[in-house]
Amino acid sequence: MSDMREKIAEIIWDNCHDGNNGPILDEAADSIIAALPSMVKPLVWYDTTLGQTSQGRLHWYKVYENSRGTYTLDDGEAVQECSSVSDAYIAAQKHYIAMLLEPFGLVQSEQ
Coil, strand or helix at 17: strand
Q: How many domains does the chain have?
A: 2
Q: What is the pLDDT of residue 1?
A: 44
Q: What is the pLDDT of residue 53?
A: 85
Q: What is the pLDDT of residue 111?
A: 42
Q: Where are the beta strands (DSSP E) in 1-109?
A: 46-48, 51-55, 60-65, 71-74, 79-82
pTM for the whole thing?
0.73
Q: Which domain range does residue 99 map to? A: 46-104
One domain, residues 52 and 84:
yes
Q: What is the pLDDT of residue 45?
A: 92
Q: What is the pLDDT of residue 74?
A: 94
Q: What is the pLDDT of residue 22?
A: 55
One domain, residues 51 and 88:
yes
- Give the pairing type, strands 79-82 and 51-55: unpaired
Is 81 a member of any domain? yes
Q: Residues of the chain whose pLDDT is less than 70? A: 1-2, 4, 16-26, 107-111
Contact 74, 51 (CB under 8 A): no
One domain, residues 30 and 50:
no
One domain, residues 28 and 78:
no
Q: How far is CA 61 from CA 25, 80, 86, in A?
A: 38, 11, 14
One domain, residues 98 and 50:
yes
Q: What is the pLDDT of residue 2?
A: 58
What is the DSSP-derived secondary structure letter of residue 32? H
